[in-house]
């Protein structure tokens, strides 16, 4: 609460006003040149200071009240006008109203103060130079107030723009996650539905072989019906997400078995890629195989997008019960040539690191990305291999 009060802009005139009043009194007490006009001068200064304090709540009214004090001091107190403290106070209150009020309203305070200065100068028998100079000194104060107001408005607009950009970035990230999950759902549907369909066909063949064993045949028939029902339910729940492209050719199934083809497409686009594949890679489950292919595809797309023709190394290996994938590129050349995106890369539109993390989370994998000490960038993914799958395919 204390910090909030200290940031209240009304503290400026609440402090500045009393200071002007004290200075007005000290000025007349310490300077014998005021003579008999000393009382009229410091009273005018104190009244002007009261107008400055009023400007804390009503900037325009306070500025006008402070400016009117000048001719009143001549008419009521028969004084010479105001001293240096009063001039400083009037310049300050004009700057304040220029900051706190719109330009058209603050110009009213500037005009009233200039007229008051002029009236006092004429009444005091001032020279033509004073008639020009005294009102002109108010203009810099008013201009400073306008500059402060415009800077504040610009800061508010920038803050609102930054908040809008943050909100849009967050919305885009959430949309990217939702879209990537939709793509993953379609691909999982393809992989799992295919496996269940093959299993159902094999059960149908086994059922026909058990014609002389009705008990076993009934069990197999039940499993076959369950398999067909599962496929139909998957088509109803997930199949609606499939993209239908009328007249389009069926794309090959994404798989690490086609990694040479993928790397070849990238090389054809102008990106030098070195591929290092371990000889002991196992046959992967369909979902994991698809996920690893998509992560590699997106990583190569990011190299094309952000590093141009930087030499890149792709490593596929195995560490215990896990598949390791690494895509590491050298620093981007200072004058990187334009590199096109081949048709086989990022087909369907990926979402960079967001999409990679979503896919790794689906298979309980881990993803590490970041800059390299030499200035390059690396993407390292680890895909755990199911032990049941390892035993089945051994």
The string of pLDDT tens digits covering residues 222-233 is 777 777 777 666
Q: Work out the average pLDDT over 137-152.
A: 87
- pTM value is 0.46
Burial grade of 394 (CB within 10 A; 0-12, 13-18, 19 or more): exposed
User: What is the model's pLDDT at position 323?
Assistant: 92
Cα 221-227-231 angle, rounded to 5 deg: 145
Contact 224, 207 (CB under 8 A): yes
Tokens representing residue 35 in the block: 């003579």
Q: List the end-to-end C-alpha distance of the chain, in Å, as a whole number.
A: 70
User: What is the model's pLDDT at position 10?
Assistant: 80
Return the bridge partners of 380, or none.
326, 368
Tokens representing residue 183 in the block: 């793509």
What are the C-alpha distances in Å from 17 to residues 20, 43, 138, 235, 332? 5, 14, 17, 78, 61
User: Which of the 8 DSSP states describes residue 192?
Assistant: H
Contact 261, 293 (CB under 8 A): no
More confident residue, 374 or 130: 374
User: What is the model's pLDDT at position 301?
Assistant: 85
Band (pLDDT 50/70/90 cuts) for residue 127 is low
Band (pLDDT 50/70/90 cuts) for residue 249 is very low
Tokens representing residue 225 in the block: 């019906």
Contact 377, 371 (CB under 8 A): yes
Q: What is the CA radius of gyration of the chain?
A: 40
Question: Residues of the chain with pLDDT > 90: what percent?
Answer: 9
Asked if the model's pLDDT at residue 338 lies above 60, the reply is no
Sheet with 312-318, edge to edge strand ranges:
273-277, 312-318, 322-329, 377-384, 366-371
Strand 273-277 relative to strand 312-318, pairing: parallel
Contact 359, 180 (CB under 8 A): yes
User: What is the model's pLDDT at position 351?
Assistant: 54
Dist CA 211 CA 217 (whole Å): 7
Asked if the model's pLDDT at residue 124 lies above 70, the reply is no
Dist CA 64 CA 226 (whole Å): 89
Size (the chain), residues: 394
User: What is the model's pLDDT at position 275?
Assistant: 93
- Which phi-psi region, left, alpha or beta, contains residue 23 (left: φ > 0; alpha: ψ -120 to 50)? alpha
Please report the DSSP string for 276-339 in residue order. Answer: EE-TTPPPPPHHHHHHHHHHHHHHHHHHHHHTTT--EEEEEEE-SSEEEEEEEEPPPPTTPPP-
Q: Nearest Cα to 267, choosing from 340, 356, 375?
A: 340
Please write the tens of the pLDDT for every residue from 348-370: 444 577 778 888 888 889 999 99
Least confident of 121-130, 219-228, 378-387: 121-130
Question: Residues of the chain with pLDDT > 70: what percent?
Answer: 75
Band (pLDDT 50/70/90 cuts) for residue 80 is low
Please write the tens of the pLDDT for every residue from 272-321: 999 999 887 878 887 788 889 989 988 998 888 888 788 999 999 998 88
User: Which of the 8 DSSP states describes residue 275?
Assistant: E
Q: Nearest Cα to 16, choosing from 73, 80, 85, 69?
A: 85
User: What is the model's pLDDT at position 346?
Assistant: 45
Contact 238, 185 (CB under 8 A): yes
Asked if the model's pLDDT at residue 128 lies above 80, the reply is no
Dist CA 320 CA 280 (whole Å): 11
Q: Work out the average pLDDT over 85-101.
A: 87
Q: What is the CATH number of domain 256-331+351-384?
A: 3.30.565.10
Asked if the model's pLDDT at residue 392 lies above 50, the reply is no
Contact 231, 207 (CB under 8 A): no
């Amino acid at each position: 609460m204390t910090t909030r009060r200290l940031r209240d802009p009304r503290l400026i005139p609440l402090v500045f006003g009393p200071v002007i009043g004290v200075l007005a009194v000290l000025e007349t007490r310490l300077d014998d040149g005021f003579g008999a006009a000393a009382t009229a001068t410091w009273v005018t200064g104190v009244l002007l200071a009261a107008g400055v304090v009023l400007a804390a709540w009503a900037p325009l009214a306070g500025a006008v009240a402070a400016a009117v004090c000048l001719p009143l001091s001549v008419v009521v107190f028969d004084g010479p006008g105001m001293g240096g403290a009063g001039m400083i106070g009037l310049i300050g209150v004009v700057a304040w109203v220029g900051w706190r009020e719109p330009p058209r309203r603050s110009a009213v305070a500037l005009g009233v103060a200039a007229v008051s200065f002029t009236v006092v100068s004429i009444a005091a028998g001032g020279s033509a130079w004073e008639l020009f100079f005294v009102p002109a000194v108010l203009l810099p104060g008013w201009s400073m107030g306008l500059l402060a107001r415009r800077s504040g408005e610009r800061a508010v607009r920038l803050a609102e723009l930054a908040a809008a950009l943050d909100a849009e970035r967050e919305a885009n990230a959430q949309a990217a996650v939702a879209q990537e999950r939709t793509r993953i759902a379609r691909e999982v549907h393809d992989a799992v539905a295919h496996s269940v369909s093959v299993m159902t066909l094999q059960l149908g063949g086994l059922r026909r072989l058990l014609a002389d064993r009705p008990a076993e045949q009934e069990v197999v028939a039940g499993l076959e019906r369950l398999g067909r029902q599962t496929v139909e339910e998957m088509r109803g729940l997930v199949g609606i997400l499939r993209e239908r492209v009328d007249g389009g050719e069926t794309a090959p199934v994404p798989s690490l078995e086609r990694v040479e083809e993928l790397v070849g497409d990238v090389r054809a686009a102008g990106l030098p890629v070195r591929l290092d594949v371990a000889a002991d890679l196992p046959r992967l489950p369909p979902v994991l195989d698809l996920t690893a292919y998509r992560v590699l595809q997106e990583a190569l797309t990011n190299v094309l997008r952000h590093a141009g023709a930087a030499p890149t190394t792709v490593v596929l290996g195995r560490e215990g019960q896990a598949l390791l994938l690494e895509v590491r590129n050298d620093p981007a050349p200072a004058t990187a040539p334009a590199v096109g995106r081949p048709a086989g890369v990022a087909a369907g539109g990926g979402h960079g690191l967001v999409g990679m993390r979503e896919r790794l989370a689906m298979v309980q994998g881990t993803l590490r990305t970041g800059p390299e000490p030499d200035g390059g960038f690396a993407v390292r993914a680890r895909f755990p291999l199911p032990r049941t799958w390892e035993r089945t395919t051994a």
